[in-house]
Amino acid sequence: MNEIIDAFKKNKLALISLIFILLIIITAVFAPYISPYNPDKIDVNAILQPPSLSHLLGTDQLGRDVLSRLIYGSRISIEVGFIAVSLSLLIGIFIGAYAGYYGGIMDSILMRFVDIMLTFPSFFLILAISAILKPSIINIMIIIGLTSWMGIARIIRAEFMQNSEKDYVLAAKAAGASDSYIMFFEILPNTIAPILVSATLGVAMAILIQASLAFLGIGITPPTPSWGGMLSRGKTYIMVAWWLTLFPGIAILLTVLSFNLIGEAVRNALDPRYSSER
């Protein structure tokens, strides 16, 4: 933990990113109290108004407040990011742990399954599954989680293979500890660095995928506000209402970039091999 704190103290850009993400999370949690308007309230007298004191980021084609919809849209992005990544980590850690610890036939079978999954273009696989299933935020989170675990599985496998013959593991075996205990209470805590990095970068990717799906009209059904959906509907009015695409685009850009910068800082702090190569 001290290494992470020191890394953020040295990396001002990562520190700013961390503060920004914390603000986004607070905004998502307290959206009903922060939002100046009801995000779904239609006002025919305020259609396509530019940013002003009454509507700081303007209004959309139905007179809805853009700032309010951005605030509520942050909820979708944060939920998808954290839940989808939690699911992908769960799958990736279990598959990688068993493959790396046992090796042999189990490793071959599990890694060939990973290789097969990697042959499918992830985004098109997500598109195909999303088109088949009923559109909902829950389905989107599950789909992203089920199609983005392969990278963490390979990382965890490599870490387990490297750690499985170390002294503390041999000592645990000699003491009669079960394989499950050794894997998840001895080796897994020593692989926290790549897990944290993968989780942070995974959240950024999940948010970007969800925004892309919403931009294509998949997953989030109107009038539920989402950044990608706002961007999609705003492109129709880009010549007369630039704020409809600018502000959602900035929100997506800054959030994804911030998670990537945080992941970079965590990797520099926890992985001395990476730091020595810089």
Q: What is the DSSP string of 134-189?
A: PP-HHHHHHHHHHTS-HHHHHHHHHHHHHHTTSHHHHHHHHTT--HHHIIIIIIGG
Tokens in use for 135?
């559109």
Q: Which CATH number fits domain 2-32+60-268: 1.10.1760.20, 2.70.40.10, 3.40.640.10, 1.10.3720.10?
A: 1.10.3720.10
Residues of the chain with pLDDT below 70 are 1-3, 271-278
Structure confidence at residue 271 (pLDDT) = 64
Burial class (CB in 10 A: 0-12, 13-18, 19+), 221: middle
Measured distance CA(114)–CA(235) in Å, rounded: 38
Structure confidence at residue 277 (pLDDT) = 44
Q: Of the candidates 215, 252, 222, 228, which has an alpha carbon nearest to the alpha carbon of residue 62?
A: 222
Burial class (CB in 10 A: 0-12, 13-18, 19+), 77: buried
Structure confidence at residue 1 (pLDDT) = 59
**Residues in the chain, how many?**
278
Structure confidence at residue 197 (pLDDT) = 87
**Rg (alpha carbons) of the chain, rounded to whole number:** 22
Q: Of the candidates 58, 67, 60, 66, which has an alpha carbon nearest to the alpha carbon of residue 44?
A: 60
Amino acid at 69: R
* Non-local CB neighbours of 157 within 8 Å, separated by 6+ positions: 95, 96, 97, 99, 100, 107, 110, 111
Distances (CA, A) of 104 to 107, 165, 200, 223, 273: 5, 15, 31, 52, 27
Structure confidence at residue 34 (pLDDT) = 94
Q: pLDDT tens-digit profile of 119-137?
A: 877 778 777 777 777 777 8
The pTM score is 0.87
Rounded to 5°, angle at Cα 193 from 187 and 195: 80
Tokens in use for 88?
């992908």
